[in-house]
Amino acid sequence: MTTAIAPIFARPHAVPTRSWPMRDAQDRMQEHAFVVAAQRGDTEAFASLVRLHQRRAYAVARSIVLTHEDAEDAVQEGFLHAFRALDRFLPDQAFGAWLHRIVANAALDITRRKKVRDADALSDTLASPFRDPGESDELRRRLDGALNQLGERQRSVIVLHDVEGYKHSEIGRMLGIPEGTARSDLHHARARLRQALSGIRSHL
């Protein structure tokens, strides 16, 4: 089965940009049709689901592993696992949340195996509003220090919420933690970053 669907996976930067969440009911109906067809073994329908979701899935993975190569591995593993588990997907579930939870779990598995501690990618994301070179360098230095002190779960929560726009309940489902824990992790992660940015900017 792996060889049958492996060619449908494009590199994240090669996938056309698409807004999310889906724009209207027609989009959701189309996604549902793809899911039903994929559950019947239609690999082209699953390829369409990959194209719809790969950018967001990559962002979810990158927020956890923080390296391009490991994020790509997590997306590959997550989509392959999702394809094999399609018969267990229930129609009343949100396909995107279900899929992203699988990708998040794959990314967490990679992190546990490799003990990834690279904060550069998240620093780039959070530093992007800071245009002055000197200010940006100082921000990056402080962010790197703060992010290296965060646990992988807190780091994932703050990116999924503040960068990717997921709700606390969605983050909880993705990471397998209670919604209250997601809220608490976000609060503590923000406090650490505010302290790191003290004297530069205070609005984070």
Domain boundaries, the chain: 19-114, 120-196
Residue located via tokens 């205070």 = 202
Statement: residue 105 has pLDDT above 60: yes
pLDDT tens string 5-43: 444 554 444 333 343 444 567 778 889 999 999 999 999
Q: What 8-state DSSP symbol labels residue 117?
A: -
The pLDDT of residue 36 is 93
Find tokens 């990158």 and name the residue. Answer: 62
User: Against a cut of 0.85, is the pTM above it?
Assistant: no
Q: Give the single-character DSSP code of 198.
A: T
**Domain 19-114 is found in CATH 3.30.565.10:** no
How confident is the model over 144-168, as pLDDT tens digits? 677 667 777 888 888 778 777 788 9
pLDDT at position 2: 41
19-114 and 120-196: identical CATH topology:
no
Label residue 140 by pLDDT band (50, 70, 90).
low
How far is residue 154's CA from residue 7's CA, in Å, rounded to a whole number? Answer: 34
d(CA 12, CA 100): 15
Domain 120-196 architecture: Orthogonal Bundle (1.10)
For the cut 60, the answer to whether the pLDDT of residue 123 exceeds it is no
